[in-house]
Amino acid sequence: MEVLQDLSFINLITHASVLVQLVMGLLLLVSLMSWWYIFLKMFAIRAEKKLSEEFEELFWSQSDLGKLYQNGTVASGEAGCMARIFSAGFAEFAKQKRKPGADNIAVMESVRRAMRATYQREMDNLESHLSFLATVGSVSPYVGLFGTVWGIMNAFRGLSNVGQATLAHVAPGIAEALVATAMGLFAAIPAVVAYNRYAHDVTRLSSRFESFMEEFSNVLQRQS
Amino acid sequence: MSALAYSYSESYRLPAGALALGVHLMFFALLYFGVTWRTEPPQGMVVDIWQSLPEPQPAPVSIAPPPVEPPKPIEQLKPVEPPKADIELTEKNKPKIKPVEIRKPVEIKPVQPKQVEPVQVDQKALAQQAAQAEQARARAAQQAAAAAAITSEIGKYTGLIRAKIKRNIVMPADVQDSMQVEFDVTLLPGGSVLSARRTRSSGSTAYDEAVERAIMKAQPLPLPQDVSLFKYFRELHLTFTPKEE
């Protein structure tokens, strides 16, 4: 083992043992995916917030709900979750109204059920992949640690073959092994931060949808 | 409810993927260019500290014959200023240069009877005197050169001795630069130390002892090749101060 060691980053990775390299590869993949989801969710949630605000404004400024239902973006379902909840509720309301001798309370019940179903589906969509971020945040440090422990075990096993053990013999092996922990942390930290942030955002959106559903039910009840 | 309900995130897939890749590339670039861990063994280095620069070619020290009493020094000879040695030589060790006695110029007083003598004789005597004076001057110059060579040799080796001792001092904590410790060191031919006696303490026992240990550790001390010069080194009076010189 030469005394002069080139501990550049590339060397640390290429000299690591196969298992550590596998762990590092896995962590890289997981990190890439978690960042991808982080950006995906960031764009989606930001767009959803904007669309909901716009739709709420439109809803309260429009007196004729039928016209709103016919509106281009609302009808095509591109105006956000809130618009889709509204569409589902209004479509159900229109259907029930067409039936002769409809009970007012029964109509409102079925409208609520239709809206609730759409709401659940939309929430499921918004919350998708958040569990992946949570998993990455909690598991990847352990995966990294596993790689590090394995690497250090190898470093010490190599040390037993050397008569006189110095720090220079162990240090490169430990440095290689620690890269795995570093990568695990690099994957975990943004994932945890993003998960907390997005979970909070989604909760706020859901409470907003629920209050809209209540208000819309009231409006429909008045019209019936 | 429509199929479009789940497609809203489709349009973001590509930019999100590109951004994720960008983040990773940035991270690895940072690691690659920012972190270059290299271990380079420190180059060992030995430094000799010389008190005085040695002459490019040390002149062979020729011991001058014991000074002969110059017949009649006429001129005032410039006293040979021995180069300031860092070491104070004890009184009895003072090199023989000093003994080059420089007499006060003596006015040549024509002796009384000479006055009576004829002028030719007087001139002859004057010429003889002038020749003698010339001879004396030459001898004095030779002596001065030899003395200068000796003093430079002494200065060089005392500097070497001091440097070697100073190199061996393991500096204790909290010493002030103003401290000064004096030692009388008796040497044996060959450079080993017979005894080192502290004549004046610096006030810090730790520093005194560090210097004493250094004197013992520095054996053998460097001595000139010329054995005849050893007499100047038999007893040395050395002064040390923690100040870097």
Structure tokens at A203: 């909760």
Domain-embedded: residue B189: yes
Q: What is the mean pLDDT of chain A?
A: 87
Residue B144 has a CB neighbour count (10 Å cut-off) of: 18
Q: At what angle do helices A104-127 and A18-61 cross, to 10 degrees?
A: 150
Ranked by mean pLDDT, the top range of A14-18, A114-118, B29-33, B145-149 is A114-118
Whether B2 and A77 lie within 8 Å, measured CB to CB = yes
B26 touches chain A (CB under 8 A): no
Domain-embedded: residue B72: no
Phi, psi (5° rounding) for residue A115? -65, -40
Total domains present in chain B: 1
Burial (0-12, 13-18, 19+ Cβ within 10 Å), B245:
exposed
Dist. CA A35–CA B148, nearest whole Å: 83
Domain-embedded: residue B229: yes
A28 touches chain B (CB under 8 A): yes
Q: Which of residues 162-191 of B touch A (CB under 8 A)?
A: none
Whether A8 and B36 lie within 8 Å, measured CB to CB = yes
B40 touches chain A (CB under 8 A): yes
Of A9, A38, A39, the CB nearest to B31: A9
A31 touches chain B (CB under 8 A): yes
Residue A87, classed as helix, strand or coil, is helix
Where residue B157 falls (left for φ over 0; alpha for ψ -120 to 50; beta otherwise) is: alpha
H or E segment to which residue B2 belongs: none
Dist. CA A77–CA B5, nearest whole Å: 7
Domain-embedded: residue B104: no
Range of the domain at B210: 143-244
Domain-embedded: residue B129: no
Percent of chain A past pLDDT 90, that is, above it, reads 47
Contact B176, B200 (CB under 8 A): no
- What pLDDT is attached to residue A213? 93
Domain-embedded: residue B195: yes
H or E segment to which residue B102 belongs: none
B8 touches chain A (CB under 8 A): yes
Encode chain B (245 residues) as per-residue pLDDT tens digits: 344 444 556 778 888 899 999 998 998 888 778 766 555 556 667 677 767 665 566 555 566 666 666 566 555 555 556 555 555 555 555 555 555 555 555 555 555 555 555 556 577 788 888 888 888 888 888 888 888 888 888 888 888 888 888 888 888 877 777 888 888 888 888 888 888 888 888 888 888 888 888 888 888 888 888 777 788 888 888 888 887 75
CA-based nearest residue in chain A for residue B4: A77
CA-based nearest residue in chain A for residue B17: A36
A4 touches chain B (CB under 8 A): yes
Q: Tell me: the pLDDT tens digits for B51-92?
A: 766 556 655 556 666 666 656 655 555 555 655 555 555 555
Mean pLDDT of A11-25: 84
Higher pLDDT, residue A194 or A18: A194
Dist. CA A201–CA A224, nearest whole Å: 35
Total domains present in chain A: 1
Contact A190, A35 (CB under 8 A): yes
**Which of B134, B104, B15 is CA-nearest to residue A43?**
B15
A118 touches chain B (CB under 8 A): yes
Dist. CA B162–CA B168, nearest whole Å: 10
Q: How far is A3 from chain B (nearest CA, A)?
A: 8
Is this structure's pTM higher than 0.80?
A: no
Q: Tell me: the pLDDT tens digits for A62-98?
A: 878 888 888 777 777 778 888 899 999 999 998 888 8
CATH of the domain at B217: 3.30.1150.10
Percent of chain B past pLDDT 90, that is, above it, reads 2
Residues of B in contact with A28 (CB under 8 A): 24
Q: How far is B171 from chain A (nearest CA, A)?
A: 29
Structure tokens at B113: 């009877």
Of B2, B8, B32, the CB nearest to A9: B32
- What pLDDT is attached to residue A115? 93
Q: Work out whether the CA dihedral A73, A74, A80, A84 comes out positive or negative.
A: negative
Of B2, B17, B32, the CB nearest to A36: B17
Dist. CA B234–CA B245, nearest whole Å: 25
Residue A7, classed as helix, strand or coil, is strand
Q: Tell me: the pLDDT tens digits for A136-189?
A: 999 999 999 999 999 888 888 877 777 677 777 777 788 888 888 988 999 999
Mean pLDDT of A111-115: 93
DSSP letters along B136-173, please? HHHHHHHHHHHHHHHHHHHHHHHHHHHHHHHHH--PPS
pLDDT band at A32 (very low <50, low <70, confident <90, very high): very high
Domain-embedded: residue B130: no
Domain-embedded: residue B67: no
Of A7, A38, A77, the CB nearest to B38: A7
- What pLDDT is attached to residue B54? 59
Mean pLDDT of A5-34: 83
ipTM: 0.72
Range of the domain at A173: 2-223
